[in-house]
Amino acid sequence: MPWSWAIFASASKSNHTTPPAVLMRYDGRPAIGLGISNVLGGNVVQMGDAVKQRLSELDGQRPVGMELNVVSYQSDSVRAAVDNFVANLAWAAAQAATANIELLIEPINLRDVPHYFLNRQDEAHAIVAEVGAPNLKVQMDLYHCQIVEGDVATKLRKYLPTGRVAHLQIAGVPERREPDRGELYHPYLFALIDELGYNDHIGCEYRPAAG
């Protein structure tokens, strides 16, 4: 055939949309393109690994005369960024240790800070575990945790006993007002925090409703 159409498909939790087709060529030849995007909140590195594995499995099933080429994997860029982040943290933690300083990393939601690198509690704890420095820990902001993941009480039960949470922060969700407003019931969470034996500080970081 003289040309073919590029097909771009995107998936999300709420719907599926296929935009209008556009002409595509690869290496000067007619081609069919397939773009795969992650669901909101998904792990792009895990998705990239899964896509690579599936493409490898399908390689022997290609029709005669069809070539399979990968233009780019965002997961490779993300993995390189994570590796660089971990290496920099390891260096910074070593420098801080000479002055008896503790470093904290904080997952933050993408609604308040678009494109922020670290968003989930499990990702933060995985990075801390990979660096392996005793003076590198997590700052757990329950406001961000609720927006990104929810199930805050379960997250507290999971991560506080690890000893890797060095500071907690609170605010009313979703407007980041005073903690006595919004969808989180802090008296329950405070009782749970006491029950779990957390003895460090709890900070209030919010935007006062009165301005």
Query: Tens digit of pLDDT for each residue in 154-175?
Result: 999 999 999 999 999 999 999 9
Annotated catalytic residue within 102, 106, 123, 178 = 106
Q: What pLDDT sits at residue 162?
A: 97
Specify the pTM: 0.70
Is 60 exceeded by the pLDDT of residue 189?
A: yes
pLDDT of residue 17: 59
Report which listed range, 51-55, 59-63, 66-70, 114-118, is most confident: 114-118
Active site residue 106: yes
More confident position, 164 or 48: 164
User: Is the pLDDT higher at 1 or at 172?
Assistant: 172
Q: How far apart, in whole angstroms, are the C-alpha atoms of residue 63 and residue 67?
A: 9
Q: Is 183 a catalytic residue?
A: no
d(CA 136, CA 129): 9
Return the exposure string of 31-65: e unless at least 16 CB atoms fall within 10 Å of the residue's CB, then b: bebeeeebeeeebbbebbeeeeeeeeeeeeeeeee
Spatial CA neighbour of 120 closest among 45, 58, 172, 62 = 45
Query: What is the mean pLDDT of the segment spanning 137-143?
Result: 98
Residue range 13-19: mean pLDDT, rounded? 55
pLDDT of residue 114: 93
pLDDT for position 35: 72
**Any idea which residue has 């005669």 for tokens?**
64
Taking the C-alpha atoms of residue 148 and residue 152, their distance in angstroms, rounded to an integer, is 10
